[in-house]
Structure 1
Amino acid sequence: MNEENLVYLQNNLKYLGFGEQLNAALKESITNAPQDFNLQSPTIEMQDPAKRYEPGFGDKVSYVLNFSKSKETDMYFFNSYEATLKKADITDLISQTFYINKGKGVTAKESFNLLSGRAVNKDVVLKSGEKANLWLKLDFAEKIDGKYAMKNFGEKYGFDLSATIDRFMIADLEKPGFKDQLMKSLQRGNVHEVSFSKDGRETKGFVAANPQYKTLDFYDAGMKSVYSKAVDQKQVAGEAVIQEPEVVIEAKKGRGR
């Protein structure tokens, strides 16, 4: 067995958010030297931000990780994984395959966020070889080769997360480090707990990035959607408050994270 290759793959799993719980199974599989194999992760219950569900009744996600052996050497490669989501309020399972390139790709938590209908910001390498920063979002209305199509929104699309956050009356943005933490969380596709102003009153809730419509998605403390146009926006001296255009957005299935 190639010990260096094993350590490399274990580091891949850790970096991609699968932790160390599959390390023993990975070592055993490589020792047996099959041409390819897969590893099944335990089912993970995701934390409910609004704590509406008792333990055991929240969203659950599981993963099947796919490995193959080089045809020329004894090295193995982590090629892809299939993530499957069972939402607390929906009976159907939602699955998608995510590909890994040299140990990099969509992380386990990011795959959960994508399957939950949110967008994730990633640095990617295009087929042309160029590097790009893109917002990725699954299109549940279209499938290609049995997998959901992946929408992407690049810099030219015009979504500026930092500027968008600054438009809204979100509490604590002036505190050192708060905005940076918020941005990193939203870029990973999370819903983040914040306090924001609505109709002149501060309310506690959650927020997620919505690059497709160049805005933020707001939720109340119970994860019920709050229209972003109803959230108070900052008045810039000498300028009118920017009002968002009316858009038709498909009703979200389930709830966010």
Structure 2
Amino acid sequence: MENNNLELLKKNLKYLGFGNSLSAALEAKISQRLEQFKIGVSSEFDAFPKDGNQGKDKVNYELSFSKTPSSNFYFLDQLRVTLNDRIQNVFPFGKGNDVTAKEAYNLLRGASIHKKAILNRQVDNAVLAPSEVGQVKEVSGERIESIWIKLDFEKLNEQGNFYYKKFYPDHGFHLETELRKYPIKELDSQQEKEALISNIRRGNAANATLENGQSVVIEADPETKKIRFYDTAFKELFVSPIPTQEIDR
């Protein structure tokens, strides 16, 4: 049973983007049969400095595990993430809206990500729109919805973590529809289009190419319902939309 638990946790950590780097530490902690334990790890990502100054972002991860009272099974409870020793947030696990290591970093740097999450829209004082029929599923009075989220750096909850800003389908931002308004070469290939959309939905600054051959970096900004373009030096660009009559052909 202990081995099954260990292998499951290893698989979960790999899915979350930690690879096998924590396997030895995880095995050592579980062998001690502690009620709770933590494991730390650091990583670096290429920064997305919108003033043009390139660099690295340092991210510290602290993973907290606990054992259920009725069994010897351990679970990942939460992930504490600190960006450049100046901004921090705790992401809980097991509520259906788990974020990966890279997604947590992207949220802390201010990006938006697209997730299937268990939510209660009454909490947000929102009502389901007819356009959302078929996109949601009831789960014990709550709903699984595909939404865009970003951290609200101006609001903290009782635990000292940032609230989420949530953008439902009826907010009016649909990524592929917005991308189709611009001359992006990757949209001409189904495989490249899917890879680009998946990359942007994870909050990544995605590389793409315009029809004129220019290399660009793309980010989604669901809050303002915009696609943002940058050059390879991360200077924001204005990209002219395709004329409406050409989109509709």
- 1:97 paired residue number: 90
Q: 1:238 to 1:48 in 2, by over 3 A?
A: closer
Output the amino acid matched with 1:130.
Answer: R
Return the offset for 1:102: 7.0
Matches within 5 A, 1:97-136: 97-101=90-94, 105-127=98-120, 128-136=141-149
Aligned AA for 2:107?
A: L
Match of 2:207 in 1: 193
* Count of residue pairs the alignment pairs up: 225
Per-residue CA deviation, residues 160-180 of structure 1 (Å, 9 max, x unaligned), is 101000011223421342211
Contact 1:16–1:104, Cα closer than 8 Å, also in 2? no
Aligned to 1:26: 26
1:76, distance to aligned residue in structure 2 (A):
0.9
Distance 1:164 1:155 in 2: 13
Identify the residue that residue 211 of structure 1 maps to in structure 2: 222
Question: Which residue in 2 is equivalent to 1:184?
Answer: 198
| Equivalent residues of 1:61, 1:83 under 8 A apart | yes
How many angstroms apart in 1 are the aligned matches of 2:171 and 2:189?
30
Counterpart check, 1:141 vs 2:154: yes
Equivalent residue number for residue 232 of structure 1: 240
In 2, Cα distance between the equivalents of 1:8 and 1:126?
26
2:127 aligned residue: none
The 1:40/1:103 distance shift into structure 2, 3 A limit, reads farther
Which residue identity does 1:144 align to in structure 2? N
CA contact (8 A) 2:220 2:227 kept: yes
Distance 1:210 1:189 in 2: 10
Deviation at 1:116, TM superposition (A): 1.1
Instruction: Report the Cα offset of residue 52 of structure 1.
Output: 6.0
SS in structure 2 at match of 1:177? helix
For 1:7 and 1:176, the matched residues in 2 are separated by 35
- C-alpha spacing 1:238/1:93, structure 2 compared with 1 (3 Å): closer
Helix, strand or coil for the counterpart of 1:190?
Answer: coil
Q: TM-score, normalised by structure 2?
A: 0.83
CA–CA distance in 1 between the matches of 2:96 and 2:144?
16
Give distance in 2, aligned partners of 1:40 and 1:164. Answer: 39
Deviation at 1:44, TM superposition (A): 1.1
Aligned residue for 1:133, secondary structure, equals strand
Q: Which amino acid aligns with 1:194?
A: A
More helix per residue? 2
Corresponding letter in the other structure for 1:218 = F
| Residue matched to 1:39 | 39
> Cα RMSD over matched residues?
2.4
- % same residue: 33
8 Å Cα contact 1:12/1:103 also seen in 2: no
Counterpart in the other structure of 2:67: 69
What amino acid is aligned across from residue 131 of structure 1 in structure 2? I
Distance 2:155 2:95 in 1: 28
Question: By how many angstroms is 1:216 displaced?
Answer: 0.8
Q: Which runs of 5+ in 2 are unaligned?
A: 121-140
Contact 1:205 1:222 in 2 (8 A): no
Residue matched to 2:137:
none
The residue aligned with 1:14 is: 14
Q: Distance in 1 between matches of 2:234 and 2:151?
A: 21
Aligned to 1:250: none
The aligned residue for residue 175 of structure 2 is: 161
Structure 1 residue runs of 5 or longer lacking an equivalent are 87-91, 240-257
Amino acid aligned to 2:15: Y
